[in-house]
């Protein structure tokens, strides 16, 4: 969301808030504001496959989604005949009705020969839209390919046109090591005017993953890795949040839980990862802060299976206080798996989730599953907070944060709700 839009609506809120002269009346006003919202999930939209025919015959994977305006969404993903094949390219599509329909498929980066593109992530930085991704030479996984590097591109018109790609060649790589960094799957934080992602990387020829922070300074066109979190089991695809001087990290791992670690020195060192209370198969989780002490999590809520996703809100950074959760059973795929969620908050009171829905069609020659994947989208409206008996707007930072995230009047969300086809 654009900073100018946020500032405009935040100032409007403060002006209106100041009309309530006493502390008592201001508290009543905040309670009224909070009553407009709820964490009782109602399905707004579950549109058709974003990818659609004929793309569904391919393996489409790893989506990233962002709001570019009222009811306007932009989604990016990569696809090809099989994941890691040299025909993999990055696509984008748009929705102008909150995810009911998707149009204008564009191919952002299309390789040639043995070059492919994968793992895109969209994010805004200083009113400019960026996309970061992996450019790979040779098929297979990133650590086994002939070559792989991070690149980024930016857009000044919300993704209609893009700059030429720029390579990311970070400093801070341990001496003598040839490493492959996987593009980030969750949003960055800002530290000292720099964009900071949690990323994982591997040495070529070594399957043991490491987790570090990737600092990007777009103004100076510089980047560097900070820290090295490495344990005896697999930790990959981190999500990163910032709370004043504390950094919080959420890890995909093979221990059957979302794991959590924190840093007090901007990522130079990390606490030993611990299991949160959220069970999770070995799969990616989407984690983002939507208000003070309110963390949105979308994850595969099962120790082994990827049959369905859950959406939840936690009050604590270690995810120990899950105060609302909805299991989205109608996303279950009896033919395969649902995974790799991406999420956003838009239109004041709505959650959007994009994800991969994969079908098992057989086995590859190497014995691994042969998959075909579509990118799907689900919209959830937050309404009716009365199922949270202990929620009050006395914590006005929550009320304010929802207002700050508002980009259009409330009637826009109501209009979006009226579009629900009920066909899910």
Nearest to 148 by CA among 105, 199, 187: 199
Domain coverage including residue 372: 3-418
User: Helix, strand, coil proportions of the chain in percent (round to 5)?
Assistant: 15, 50, 40
Q: How many Å separate Cα 20 from the centre of its chain?
A: 38
25/31 Cα distance (integer angstroms): 10
Q: Of residues 398 and 287, which shows the higher confidence score? A: 287
Query: Whole-model pTM above 0.75?
Result: yes
**Residues 45-76 pLDDT 10s:** 444 467 665 455 578 889 999 999 888 999 99
Q: Which helix (H) or strand (E) holds 346?
A: strand 336-346
Determine the Cα–Cα distance for residues 344 and 346; give it in Å rounded to an integer. Answer: 6
Q: Kindly report, residue by residue over 397-423, the tens digit of the pLDDT.
A: 333 333 333 222 222 332 233 323 222
In the structure, what pLDDT confidence band is assigned to residue 331 with cuts at 50, 70 and 90? low
Confidence of residue 337 (pLDDT cuts 50, 70, 90): confident
User: Which letter does DSSP use for residue 365 in this model?
Assistant: T
Give the confidence band of 35 by pLDDT, cuts at 50, 70, 90. Answer: very low
Q: What is the pLDDT of residue 334?
A: 52
- Number of separate domains in the chain: 1
pLDDT of amino acid 295? 92
User: What was the pLDDT predicted at 189?
Assistant: 95
Structure tokens at 281: 């198969």
For position 239, which CATH number holds? 2.120.10.10
Residue 206 lies in a domain: yes
Residue 424 lies in a domain: no
171 neighbors 179 (Cβ within 8 angstroms) = no
Give residue 307's region: left, alpha or beta (phi > 0; psi -120 to 50): alpha
pLDDT band at 380 (very low <50, low <70, confident <90, very high): confident
Domain annotation covers residue 423: no
Residues 86 and 71: their CA atoms lie apart, in Å, by 35
| Rounded distance between C-alpha atoms, residue 135 and residue 147, angstroms | 8
């Amino acid at each position: 969301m654009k900073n100018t839009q946020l500032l405009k609506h935040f100032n409007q809120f403060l002006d209106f808030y100041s009309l309530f002269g006493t502390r008592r009346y201001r508290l009543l006003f905040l309670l009224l504001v909070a009553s407009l919202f709820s964490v009782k999930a109602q399905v707004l939209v579950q549109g058709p496959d974003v990818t659609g025919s004929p793309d569904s015959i391919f393996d489409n994977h790893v989506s990233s989604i962002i709001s570019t305006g009222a009811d306007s969404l932009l989604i990016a993903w990569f696809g090809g005949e099989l994941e890691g094949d040299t025909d993999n390219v990055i696509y984008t599509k748009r929705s102008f009705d909150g995810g009911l329909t998707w149009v204008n498929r564009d191919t952002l980066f299309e390789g040639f020969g043995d070059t492919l593109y994968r793992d895109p992530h969209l994010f805004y930085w200083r009113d400019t839209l960026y996309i970061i991704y992996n450019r790979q030479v040779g098929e297979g996984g990133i650590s086994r390919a002939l070559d792989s590097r991070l690149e980024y591109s930016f857009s000044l018109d919300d993704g209609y046109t893009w700059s030429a790609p720029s390579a990311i060649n970070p400093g801070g790589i341990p001496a003598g090591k040839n490493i492959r960094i996987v593009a980030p799957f969750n949003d960055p934080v800002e530290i000292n005017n720099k964009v900071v992602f949690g990323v994982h990387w591997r040495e070529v020829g070594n399957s043991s993953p490491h987790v570090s922070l990737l600092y990007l300074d777009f103004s100076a066109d510089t980047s560097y890795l900070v820290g090295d979190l490495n344990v005896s089991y697999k930790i990959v695809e981190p999500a990163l949040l910032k709370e004043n001087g504390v950094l919080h990290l959420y890890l995909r791992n093979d221990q059957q839980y979302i794991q959590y670690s924190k840093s007090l020195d901007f990522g130079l060192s990390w606490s030993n990862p611990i299991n949160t209370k959220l069970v999770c198969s070995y799969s990616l989780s989407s984690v983002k802060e939507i208000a003070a002490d309110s963390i949105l999590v979308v994850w595969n809520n099962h120790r082994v299976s990827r049959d369905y996703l859950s959406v939840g809100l936690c009050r604590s950074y270690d995810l120990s206080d899950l105060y609302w959760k909805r299991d989205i059973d109608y996303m279950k795929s009896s033919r395969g798996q649902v995974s790799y969620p991406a999420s956003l908050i838009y239109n004041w009171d709505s959650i959007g989730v994009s994800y991969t829905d994969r079908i098992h069609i057989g086995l590859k020659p190497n014995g691994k599953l042969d998959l075909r994947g579509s990118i799907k989208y689900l919209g959830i409206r937050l309404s009716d907070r009365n199922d949270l008996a202990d929620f009050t707007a006395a914590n006005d930072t929550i009320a304010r944060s929802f207002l700050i995230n508002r980009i259009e009047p409330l009637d826009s969300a109501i209009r979006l709700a009226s579009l629900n086809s009920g066909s899910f």
